[in-house]
Amino acid sequence: MSSNKDMDLLLKIWRQADANSKGELVDYNVTGISPDSSFLEMLDVLNEQLVEKGQEPVVFDHDCREGICGMCSLFINGEAHGPGDQITTCQLHMRSFNDGDTIYIEPFRATAMPVIKDLVVDRSSMDKIQQAGGYVSVNTSGNTQDANALPIPKADADAAFDAATCIGCGACIATCKNASAMLFLSAKVSQFALLPQGKVEAADRVKNMVRVMDEEGFGNCTNTGACEVECPKGISLDNIARMNREYLSASLAD
Amino acid sequence: MSPLKGFFNSSVARKFWMAITGLFLITFLLVHLGVNLVMFAGKDAFNQATHFMATNPLIQVMQYVLAAGFLVHIIMGIKLTMQNKAARSVGYAYENAAANSSWSSRNMIISGGLVLVFLILHMRNFFYEMKFTENIGTYTLDGVVLHNDFLLVSSLFTTWYYVVIYVLAFIALGIHLNHGFQSAFQSAGWKNSNWKGLMQTVGTVFSAIIAIGFSAIAIYFFLNPAQ
Ligand code: SF4
Ligand code: FES
């Protein structure tokens, strides 16, 4: 697919001055991109070239640049976090593209995650879901119980751990044709519901988190499965089924 | 929150009711196909079958449940679609949806809408004629007065464009069911990775049986018009 030759690319990037402005896709030619650079480094190079020309650099989210923080976003060539399985945008490398390619770079889109500027979206609606129940009320005042004193079946521990790898990036929402946050929410629910510490508050947790998700204006899941495919952490649809179970039995018990 | 509100009015609940009504409609389809297949046993057998359906008290009650199931499924489907559209007010310039999901899963409102159009036509052509008009002749067999529903159905199947519409509608229904079948189990929370493959396979086979079964009857009677 790629050689070691530097690449020239045509980028179509969403530019938007602020939350209230109307944005548009703007064409940029970027030159001399190493196939070994990451996608975000490519944007850094573009921004340097823009600054040199006296233009405003493109604003985009990033932090750890090693796939753990969930801060990077971007909808690249029609896919959240671009092509490639189970990677974040910061883990995407330019060798996945070819010299002369045109690359569309858009912000994650959801009514509940509005654009703040250029490629940066406001994901605080996800934080609100988390705050509505994504925690356990355990005492950490110095007399906490030894974790190994609580026997947990290995399968449950593994499933809880897998769910806990969700980095809260929002790619599932961005990908879903309904802008549904169910994969994210279900990962947060499962991570606790499977463990004894989380079971105590399980019913209220799932009800409150779903309520806030609905209030924030996320869409309804229609089981297309797109989220699972695009999730950089491979969060399974099993979590959504589990969340549905938890939610339905919790709300029946009301 | 008022009691049970979440069980009727929330994103998860809407999925659940779509699933339950969908599964109910699926069982109805099987019964319907079963009755239609009796056409192959000849005029009298089919007319006895429709007579049974029209007079059996349980079936009469289930008719109303069925109508309610259809209404809930359709109205909720439209509502879900509108909410989901609103949840992404600004769309993407370039979206490669085929990279992560199937066409049938993304376009349930289109396949479902086509089935709905057919359903209305179908109600007019069969249900209305059978239940509310005296257009269908009767005759007596073994002391029972039977409507000649067989004649109504088989004569409609002699019109080529009706058969085309009929077959296209069942292709749309097959596409709808291919996603809907396994989707219902996921929405109700009755699915996990261990069962996923089997449910998809059963769903696909079931969709094919429904689509091919109904279509085959129409095509057979088009090619071999009943006297
Ligand atoms: S479920 Fe996956 S895609 Fe969604 S927020 Fe978590 S890590 Fe990101
Ligand atoms: S920048 Fe942290 S995950 Fe990409």
Identify whether residues A158 and A92 lie together within a single domain: no
Identify whether residues A56 and A176 lie together within a single domain: no
As a whole number of angstroms, the distance between CA B209 and CA B197 comes to: 18
Q: Which residue of A has its CA nearest to B189?
A: A241
As a whole number of angstroms, the distance between CA A249 and CA A125 comes to: 25
The residue range of the domain holding A242 is: 123-137+150-252
What is the number of alpha carbons within 13 Å of residue B124 lying toward its C-beta?
Answer: 6
Domain count, chain B: 1
Q: CB-based contact (8 Å) between B103 and chain A?
A: no
What is the per-residue pLDDT for A3? Answer: 63
As a whole number of angstroms, the distance between CA A133 and CA A203 comes to: 10
What band does B3 get if pLDDT is binned at 50, 70 and 90? low
Identify whether residues A56 and A75 lie together within a single domain: yes
| Contact between B84 and A25 using a beta-carbon 8 Å cutoff | no
% of chain B at pLDDT higher than 70: 98
Q: Do residues B147 and B212 make contact, with C-beta atoms less than 8 angstroms apart?
A: no
Nearest Cα neighbor of A37 from A79, A84, A93 is A93
What is the per-residue pLDDT for B133? Answer: 82
What is the per-residue pLDDT for B227? Answer: 62
Q: What is the DSSP string of chain A?
A: ---SS-EEEEEEEEE-SSTTS--EEEEEEEEEE-TTSBHHHHHHHHHHHHHHTTPPPPP---SSSSSSS-----EETTEET-SSSS--GGG-BGGGS-TT-EEEEE---BTTB-EEETTEE--HHHHHHHHTT-S-----SS-PPPGGGS---HHHHHHHHHHHT-----HHHHHSTT---HHHHHHHHHHHHTSHHHHTTHHHHHHHHHHHHHHTT--------HHHHH-TT---THHHHHHHHHHHHHHHT-
Pick the residue of A25, A121, A177 with the most B CBs within 10 A to test the interface with B by mutation. Answer: A177
Q: Is residue A158 part of a domain?
A: yes
Identify whether residues A112 and A171 lie together within a single domain: no
Q: Distances in Å between the alpha carbon of A186 and those of A121, A158, A225, A239, B33?
A: 22, 16, 13, 5, 38
| Chain segment A7-63, per-residue pLDDT in tens | 999 999 999 999 999 999 999 999 999 999 999 999 999 999 999 999 999 999 999
Taking 60 as the threshold, does the pLDDT of residue B35 lie above it?
Answer: yes
Identify whether residues A113 and A186 lie together within a single domain: no
Identify whether residues A176 and A208 lie together within a single domain: yes
Across all residues in chain A, what is the average pLDDT?
Answer: 95
CATH number of the domain that A110 lies in? 3.10.20.30
Taking 80 as the threshold, does the pLDDT of residue B50 lie above it?
Answer: yes
Taking 70 as the threshold, does the pLDDT of residue B39 lie above it?
Answer: yes
Q: Is residue A144 part of a domain?
A: no
| Contact between B92 and A245 using a beta-carbon 8 Å cutoff | no
The residue range of the domain holding B63 is: 3-223
Identify whether residues A132 and A234 lie together within a single domain: yes
What is the number of alpha carbons within 13 Å of residue B101 lying toward its C-beta?
Answer: 27
Neighbours of B111 (CB within 10 A): 21
What is the per-residue pLDDT for A161? Answer: 97
CATH number of the domain that A166 lies in? 1.10.1060.10
Q: In what order do the strands lie in the sheet with A79-80?
A: A24-33, A7-15, A102-106, A75-76, A79-80
Domain count, chain A: 2
Confirm or reject: Cβ of A163 under 6 Å from ligand 1.
no
Q: Is residue A145 part of a domain?
A: no
| Chain segment B74-126, per-residue pLDDT in tens | 999 999 999 999 999 999 999 999 999 999 999 999 999 999 999 999 999 88
Confirm or reject: Cβ of A166 under 6 Å from ligand 1.
yes
Confirm or reject: Cβ of A206 under 6 Å from ligand 1.
no
Q: Give me A206's structure tokens.
A: 């799932």
Note the ipTM here.
Answer: 0.91
Nearest Cα neighbor of A188 from A214, A158, A162, A154 is A162
Which atom of ligand 2 approaches the CA of A67 most closely?
3
Nearest Cα neighbor of A129 from A48, A208, A241 is A208
Identify whether residues A86 and A172 lie together within a single domain: no
| Chain segment A66-88, per-residue pLDDT in tens | 999 999 999 999 999 999 999 99
| Contact between B14 and A182 using a beta-carbon 8 Å cutoff | no
Across A106-123, average pLDDT: 98
Q: Is residue A1 part of a domain?
A: no
Pick the residue of A212, A220, A230, A240 with the most B CBs within 10 A to test the interface with B by mutation. Answer: A220
Bridge-based pairing state of the strands A75-76 and A102-106: antiparallel
Give the residue with greater pLDDT, B70 vs A147: B70
CATH number of the domain that B134 lies in? 1.20.1300.10
